[in-house]
Amino acid sequence: MLPKQYSFNLRQERGFFEKAKKVFSQKFTLFYIPAPHFGTVVVVPKKRVALATGRTAVKRKITAAIEKIIPEVDLNSSSFFVCLVAKSAAVTAPRELLEKELLKAFSSLQKE
């Protein structure tokens, strides 16, 4: 489970998707905005996985990958709220592949 300090409530961020910049990858679409601290949330659309138990399993797999790459990403220089929206390819991908793609995506956020 992702520590509470690295998560945020998407419902409390009014107009998040209107203000957010986007980064596209093969398995995710990342929406991000500048924030006072780093926070992330994972969204798996019902269109991708029909059952709630399946969506929860995919969220857990993605969250575990995020937990593993957090030490590798310099969170002090990157203060963003990030919303990861999973694509179909993320549902069947192994965790190691998700980690590589997330690390690449988070490093592209730092450069901007």
Instruction: Give the tens place of pLDDT for each residue, 69-79.
Output: 887 776 556 68
**Cα 15 to Cα 17: distance, rounded to the nearest angstrom:** 6
Instruction: Give the tens place of pLDDT for each residue, 60-110.
Output: 999 999 988 887 776 556 688 999 999 999 999 998 999 999 988 888 876
The predicted pLDDT at position 2 comes to 78
Helical axes 95-111 vs 52-69, angle rounded to 10°: 60
CATH architecture of 4-111: 2-Layer Sandwich (3.30)
- Name the residue ranges covered by the structural domains of the chain: 4-111
